[in-house]
Homo-oligomer: A and B are copies of this chain.
Amino acid sequence: MTLDPDLFSDCGTDRPLIRIGDKWTMKIIVCLRDGPRRFGELIVPLRITAKVLTESLRAMERDGLLTRTAYGENPPRVEYALTPLGRTLLEPLAAICAWSAAHQPEVLRARSA
């Protein structure tokens, strides 16, 4: 059986719908797993620039994966939290992480050969 030339025609234009592959989305979701986090709280473990973190958070907000709540205080305080939709990503995410953990040595061995 030959491959359907239009096999991927319904996959949107090019990239997958959610940016699983980008450098930050998955890690941000992991960081928000246990509850809301502040901007400055996220920066530390991610070792990310403020600019890039802002961009990523805004994109994820647009996609309905998380919410941004700013309290009108001074100094400012902003909290980010996963939406129910964002939480549903934790499962497939765990599948990827499990694969990575299980097969990492195997890949590294192949790569060095």
One of A49-57, A74-82, A98-106 contacting the partner:
A98-106
Residue of B nearest to A34 (CB): B1
Check if B96 sits within 8 Å of A45, measured CB to CB: no
Please indicate the chain B residues that have their CB under 8 angstroms from the CB of A104 in the complex. 17
- Report A45 CB to chain B, min CB distance, Å: 4
Please indicate the chain B residues that have their CB under 8 angstroms from the CB of A14 in the complex. 23
Please indicate the chain B residues that have their CB under 8 angstroms from the CB of A63 in the complex. 107, 110-111
Check if A8 sits within 8 Å of B27, measured CB to CB: yes
* Interface set, chain A 1-39, CB cutoff 8 A to B: 1-8, 11, 14-23, 26-27, 30-31, 34, 37
Interface range, A side: 35 or more
* Interface set, chain A 47-95, CB cutoff 8 A to B: 47, 62-64, 85, 88-89, 91-92, 95
Check if A8 sits within 8 Å of B99, measured CB to CB: no
Known: A45-B7, A45-B8, A46-B8. A107 touches B23 (CB 8 A): no
Listed from nearest, the 8 A-B pairs whose CB atoms lie closest are: A21-B21, A64-B110, A7-B45, A92-B95, A95-B95, A92-B99, A3-B45, A5-B44
